Amino acid sequence: MGSSEKTFRVGLVAPGTRMPPELARRAEALAQKAYGGRVSLHFHPQCFRHAGHFAGEDHERIEALVEVANDPAMDAVWFARGGYGACRVAEYAIPRMTEAAGAKAWLGYSDAGFLLAGLHRAGFGRVAHGPMPVDLIREGGEQAFLRGLGWLVDGDKRALEPSLLKDGLPEDGRAMAFNLTILSQLLGTGLEPDFTGRVLMLEDVGEYMYRVDRYFFHVTQNAAVRRCAGIRLGRCSAVPKNDPDFVLTEEEVARFWCERAGIAYLGRADIGHDSDNRVVPFA
């Protein structure tokens, strides 16, 4: 690496739940090992704050997000982790963001989907659903971390969800991805993006199958969602045991509701709350 090469600076915030500092240190060391001085991670101190459930009070999370978003020294904003809380800050933070924020690449998933949706609605062109530094707690998490970072820094197309590639090249503007629960909870709010013509990829974690079924009812019976090009089902992991057994699998549930709603069911998507989670740009 030549010393003339500009360092790619990634700003990190936690709009929901707190990030353990030791995980941030691991992320920094891993980025250093993989990229040397070409990439630097900048965890905003807000990531480590405590306020009940949240990584700091609402106003602290709003201020940190706006600060990192608008900082011209940062090339990208990476959500350090999800948890819960982005829906409390999005409405206030997004309107305060400048062109510097709109020019950055943005990456995250799970609860951060509230922000991905709201940013896309606000016209941000480089928003993507994909791995976060918190994935380092998972088995194989380094792989997920480096996949996310590779997309942020170099737009690495090997990071992309495979159905987004045609003849080995990415097709832009085709998809959106969300946690199913988060999508359900942002429909009808000021964060709802335009689904028209998009392939909608949906994953979930830790939800009973009867809830997955109910979320699919809610999402597929929505007129705005019905303008999408189709649904792909990501992984539904850590599903608690239903008593009695729900009988239907998550794919049967997805097919059932898509058929009922007249939405094309397009098969599986390689996304989920796991280390294999691929990147889905909304652009």
> For the chain, percent helix, then strand, then coil, each to nearest 5?
45, 20, 35
Report residue 204: phi and psi, to 5°.
Answer: -155, 170
Build a one-symbol-per-residue string for 94-133: x at contacts with its own copies by CB under 8 A, - elsewhere: ----------------------------------------
One of 213, 250, 270, 274 touching its own copies (CB under 8 A): 213
Give every CB contact of residue 213 below 8 A, 6+ residues apart in sequence: 246, 248, 253, 257
Least Å distance, CB 217 to its own copies, is 5
Strand order in the sheet with 127-129: 39-43, 8-13, 76-79, 105-108, 127-129, 280-281
3-class DSSP state for residue 265? strand
Nearer to its own copies, 169 or 223 (CB): 223
Give, as ranges, the residues between 49 and 78 that touch its own copies (CB under 8 A): 50-53
Please, what's the largest Cα pairwise distance for the chain? 64
Choosing from 46, 163, 179, 184, the residue that interacts with its own copies (CB under 8 A) is 184
Q: For residue 108, give the nearest of 119, 93, 122, 95 by alpha carbon.
A: 119
Binder among 41, 64, 87, 128 for its own copies (CB under 8 A): 87
Residue 134 is a binding residue for its own copies (CB under 8 A):
no
How many residues contact its own copies, by CB under 8 A? 32
Provide the binding-site residues for its own copies, judged by CB under 8 A: 50-53, 84, 87-88, 91, 184-190, 209-210, 213-215, 217-218, 221-224, 242, 244-248
